[in-house]
Amino acid sequence: MTTKTFDAVVIGAGPGGYVAAIRLAQLGKKTALVERESLGGVCLNWGCIPSKAFIAAGNLVDEIRGAADRGILVSEPKVDVAKLRAFKEGVVKKLVSGVGALEKGNGVEVLKGKATFVGPNAVEVDAGGEKTRIEAAAFIVATGARPIAIPGFAYGKDVWSAKEALDLPEVPGRLVVIGGGVIGLELGTVYAKLGSKVTIVEALPALLTGVDPEAVRIVQKGLRQRGVDVHLNAKAKGLDAVAGALSVRIEVDGKEQAIPADKVLVAVGFRPNTEGIGLEAAGVKLDAKGYVQVDDQLRSSNPAVFAIGDIVGPPFLAHKASKEGEIAAEVIAGHRSARDWVAMPGAIFTDPEVATVGLSEEQARAKGLDPLVGKFAFAALGRAIAIDHTEGFVKVIADRESKLLLGVTMVGPEASDLIAEATLALEMGAYVEDVALTVHAHPTLAEAFMEASKAALGEAIHAINRPERPRKDKGAAPA
């Protein structure tokens, strides 16, 4: 067996690992990046990127359907599934080859194969039976996560995970989605726009648990308008096939119901990929939930092994993994980096989109705070009216005394992009006045953040400022 030696080895080339490898090389480390499947990992190949290609296509279909309202007369759009799939594959290919070019350009050696720790400072890379021993002073493990499977719903031709759904084998007549979380709603919305009759089955009493319920109500309205049925408090019990016809058995309030389906998408959460990579041989400990135990510098119980991204726990977000990759690389290079960010944004690509940063109103109240809240509806914003997307709002949450910004929740058009300004504001330690006093170009959707900040101060221009209503839980809280 050949042996190779590097300063640092990164295992897994998703948005955590490929970024870590680039940063290590930039910092002068002789770096190898090991990947068993495809550069870019789940995000580029079977997650964030292909889903955005389909979501954009679904939005286009939706816009065309609604164009008559704006005096543009077109016939009902038809979807050429093969062509749409080819478009998505082109997008993925371009980005994956871009990652390859970046690694090469930075001097990273990319090794195809499966890496397994064989000791505290060595891995074995198996490339189709051909094995190489790789030794290094430091390792970054970035092996990601995979969809959880539920009993009675084995993934296959009829039961899809997000990966199969993003292969777009067909647009099924009836799609039953199990799980009303992020993936269930994003992909459920796309398939509804492309023409499927979609039914969402969620075990909990609400969709998108953890998101501001006011924002979830707007998303739920969007689903309703697109003919999506939602069953809450509904547990998926099993899949029956009678004479070739599928039906999903669900239990609501102790009673069973059957929902006919052509395909089923299961999206009930992720599980970290920590098995089968020899973490025990490397002396890397897991926590009680099965995530790799790391400190604020992403160092595991073996000081030579770092772990980043989904395997160190939620939130399962590509940009969080990338940030952790940069931090781990910098720590390995001797910098004093640490996980010390203030703001970690989240973006959910439903229709309308939801984006969050910092505390939600509910989270602030759960912490015992009585926050200052300012809200501005897109329905009152010129640009939103002009583009015919008036659904949703921006809500700012701030400390009542100091007016320090604590969080922002947005639901509405382009919320996933608009959240960047709020993220910067939080990271910079902005006060509500900072945002309210900042001139925003008119007419833009970004004005909604400025107006919501003004509203928190009772100074909104394009909405009537009303005194805060007394809250039952916190007593009167005059502005």
- Catalytic (active-site) positions: 442
List the one residue from 18, 270, 306, 378 that touches ligand NAD (CB under 6 A). 270
Contact flag: residue 430 with ligand NAD (CB under 6 A): no
User: Measured between alpha carbons, how far is 8 from 14 in angstroms, rounded to an integer?
Assistant: 17
For ligand NAD, how many residues bind (rule: CB under 6 A)? 27
List the one residue from 43, 203, 332, 425 that touches ligand NAD (CB under 6 A). 203
Contact flag: residue 269 with ligand NAD (CB under 6 A): yes
Spatial contact of 409 and 215, defined as CB atoms under 8 Å apart? yes
Our CB check for ligand NAD shows the closer of 22 and 203 to be: 203
Contact flag: residue 183 with ligand NAD (CB under 6 A): yes
Contact flag: residue 209 with ligand NAD (CB under 6 A): yes
Contact flag: residue 150 with ligand NAD (CB under 6 A): yes
User: Measured between alpha carbons, how far is 451 from 464 in angstroms, rounded to an integer?
Assistant: 11
Our CB check for ligand NAD shows the closer of 31 and 350 to be: 350
Contact flag: residue 413 with ligand NAD (CB under 6 A): no
Strand partners, 123: 117, 134
Contact flag: residue 371 with ligand NAD (CB under 6 A): no
Contact flag: residue 154 with ligand NAD (CB under 6 A): no
Our measurement of the distance from residue 394's CA atom to the centroid of its chain's CA atoms, rounded to an integer in Å, reads: 20
Contact flag: residue 239 with ligand NAD (CB under 6 A): no
Look at residue 316 and give its three-state secondary structure.
coil
Our CB check for ligand NAD shows the closer of 202 and 326 to be: 202
Q: By CB under 6 A, which span of 68-76, 90-98, 256-264, 343-351 interacts with ligand NAD?
A: 343-351
Min CB(204)–ligand NAD separation in Å = 4
Min CB(153)–ligand NAD separation in Å = 8
Task: Tell me the torsion sign for CA atoms 191, 192, 198, 201.
Answer: positive
List the one residue from 215, 236, 354, 410 that touches ligand NAD (CB under 6 A). 236
Contact flag: residue 317 with ligand NAD (CB under 6 A): yes
List the one residue from 87, 291, 316, 431 that touches ligand NAD (CB under 6 A). 316
Contact flag: residue 381 with ligand NAD (CB under 6 A): no
Q: Which residue is nearest to ligand NAD (CB)?
A: 181
Our CB check for ligand NAD shows the closer of 204 and 333 to be: 204
List the one residue from 4, 163, 226, 235 that touches ligand NAD (CB under 6 A). 235
10 Å CB burial of residue 27 (0-12, 13-18, 19+) is middle
Contact flag: residue 204 with ligand NAD (CB under 6 A): yes
- Which H or E element spans position 61? helix 48-66
Min CB(477)–ligand NAD separation in Å = 32
Q: How many residues does the chain have?
A: 479
Q: By CB under 6 A, which span of 37-45, 256-264, 342-350, 422-430 interacts with ligand NAD?
A: 342-350
Spatial contact of 448 and 455, defined as CB atoms under 8 Å apart? no
User: Measured between alpha carbons, how far is 221 from 216 in angstroms, rounded to an integer?
Assistant: 9
User: Measured between alpha carbons, how far is 162 from 47 in angstroms, rounded to an integer?
Assistant: 7
Contact flag: residue 15 with ligand NAD (CB under 6 A): no
Contact flag: residue 256 with ligand NAD (CB under 6 A): no
C-alpha distance from residue 434 to each of 141, 168, 316, 405, 429 (Å): 40, 45, 31, 9, 10
User: Measured between alpha carbons, how far is 24 from 10 in angstroms, rounded to an integer?
Assistant: 9
Our CB check for ligand NAD shows the closer of 150 and 190 to be: 150
Beta strand 130-141 with 305-307 is: parallel
Spatial contact of 89 and 9, defined as CB atoms under 8 Å apart? no
- Which H or E element spans position 183? helix 182-194
Question: How many other β-carbons are positioned within 10 Å of the β-carbon of residue 470?
Answer: 10
Our CB check for ligand NAD shows the closer of 414 and 447 to be: 414
Residues 6+ apart with CB under 8 A from 108: 21, 22, 24, 25, 31, 32, 33
Question: How many other β-carbons are positioned within 10 Å of the β-carbon of residue 237?
Answer: 18
Min CB(147)–ligand NAD separation in Å = 6
Contact flag: residue 14 with ligand NAD (CB under 6 A): no
Look at residue 383 and give its three-state secondary structure.
helix
Contact positions toward ligand NAD, by CB under 6 A? Answer: 150, 178-184, 186, 201-204, 209, 235-236, 267-270, 314, 316-317, 346-349
